[in-house]
Structure 1
Amino acid sequence: MYLIEKGSESSFTVNHSRFIGYALPCADEPQLRSRLFEIASAHPTAHHLAFAYRIKTDNGVIAHFSDAGEPSGTAGKPILAHISGFDVVNALVAVVRYFGGIKLGAGGLVRAYGGTAKLALEKASLIPYVEYAELELTIEYPNLQPLTYQVEKAGGEIVSRVFGEKIDVVVRLPAAEAPAIARRFNGTST
């Protein structure tokens, strides 16, 4: 799976209709609504704003699309097909259409919306998706420096430290690295 590190914009014209595509990172549904509002505000005279998104949650991947008034399955569905094909999560791809006066037919709409979505995804900067986990550890003082080194080496970070007789530490790191760190420092993952 991949994430969009840096969003992109692309445009495509067919039979005088202009299609503008956006591929944007989107972590959750409130951010999704905000991004759609921004796009709609930037294009108040557009005829359609079709979109699709895939968001990874604790319960799996949520995917949805909207044809935005175009015939059923001709706008949002081909956009979602490209998001899935690129295996992107936590992403919104939206395509704005300015109608050019010539009807494109169902096949033409599918190609135009899908093609614009593909262009936007190709221009976006994609990075591998990494699942993160948090570990809660209680360690002796001499283990703080080795823990810090191991966590940073694994691509993680120390979220909090509480100093007492021992140190209670919460670390966030790639989930694949969590079991080894937990075993080495006698913690549990959450």
Structure 2
Amino acid sequence: MYLIEKGSESSFTVNHSRFIGYALPCADESQLRVRLAEIASTHPNAHHLAFAYRIKTEHGIIAHFSDAGEPSGTAGKPILAHISGFDVVNALVAVVRYFGGVKLGAGGLVRAYGGTAKMALESASLIPYVEYAEVRLTIDYPKFQALTYRVEKAGGEIVSRAFGERIDLIVRVPASEAPAIARQFDDS
């Protein structure tokens, strides 16, 4: 799976209709609504704003699409097909259409919306998706520097620390590293 590190914008014109595609990172459904509102306010005179998204939650992947008034399955569904094809999660891909006066037909709409979504995803900067886990640790002071090094090397971070007789920490690390770090460092 992949994440969009840096969003992108692409455009495509067919039979005088202009299609503008956006591929954007989107952590949850509230951020999704904000991003869609931003795109809509940027294009207040657009005829259609079709979109699709895939968001990974603790309960699985949520995927949804909207045809935005285009014939059923001709706009949002091809956009979602490309998001799934690129195996991208926590992403919104939206395509704005300015109607150019020539009807494209169902096949033409599928190609135009899908093609614009593909172009937007191809120009976005994608990075591998990494599942993270939080680990609670209690360590002795001499281990703190080694733990800090190991957490940073794994691509994680120290979320909180409380200094007392010992150090109580919460670290956020890739889930694959969590058991080994807990075994190596936890003194509780």
Bin of the TM-score, shorter chain as denominator length = over 0.9
- The 2-side partners of 1:14 and 1:60 are apart by 37
Change (3 A) 1:187 1:72: farther
Change (3 A) 1:134 1:112: same
Shift of 1:165: 1.4
Query: In structure 1, what is the equivalent of residue 141 of structure 2?
Result: 141
- The 2-side partners of 1:186 and 1:148 are apart by 13
Residues 132-168 of structure 1 show CA distances to partners (whole Å, capped at 9, x for unaligned) of 1110001111111111111111111111110111110
| 5+ long unaligned stretches in structure 2 | none
Could you tell me whether the CA contact under 8 Å between 2:151 and 2:171 is conserved in 1? Answer: yes
- For the pair 1:65 / 2:70, whether they are aligned, the reply is no
Query: In structure 2, what is the equivalent of residue 158 of structure 1?
Result: 158
Could you tell me whether the CA contact under 8 Å between 2:23 and 2:91 is conserved in 1? Answer: yes
Query: In structure 1, what is the equivalent of residue 47 of structure 2?
Result: 47
Letter in 2 for 1:82: H
Query: In structure 1, what is the equivalent of residue 89 of structure 2?
Result: 89
Shift of 1:187: 7.2
- For the pair 1:18 / 2:5, whether they are aligned, the reply is no
| 5+ long unaligned stretches in structure 1 | none
SS of 1:10's partner is strand
Residues 105-151 of structure 1 show CA distances to partners (whole Å, capped at 9, x for unaligned) of 00000000000000000000000001111100011111111111111
- The 1-side partners of 2:107 and 2:54 are apart by 24
Query: In structure 2, what is the equivalent of residue 80 of structure 1?
Result: 80
- The 2-side partners of 1:71 and 1:166 are apart by 64
SS of 2:127's partner is strand
Could you tell me whether the CA contact under 8 Å between 2:52 and 2:94 is conserved in 1? Answer: yes
SS of 1:103's partner is coil
- The 1-side partners of 2:172 and 2:155 are apart by 9
- For the pair 1:170 / 2:186, whether they are aligned, the reply is no
Question: TM-score of the superposition, structure 1-length normalised?
Answer: 0.97
SS of 2:180's partner is helix
Structure 1 consecutive aligned stretches of length 4 or more whose deviation exceeds 4 Å = none
Question: TM-score of the superposition, structure 2-length normalised?
Answer: 0.98
Shift of 1:186: 2.7
SS of 2:177's partner is helix
Aligned length: 188
- For the pair 1:112 / 2:112, whether they are aligned, the reply is yes
Could you tell me whether the CA contact under 8 Å between 2:140 and 2:187 is conserved in 1? Answer: no
- The 2-side partners of 1:52 and 1:187 are apart by 47
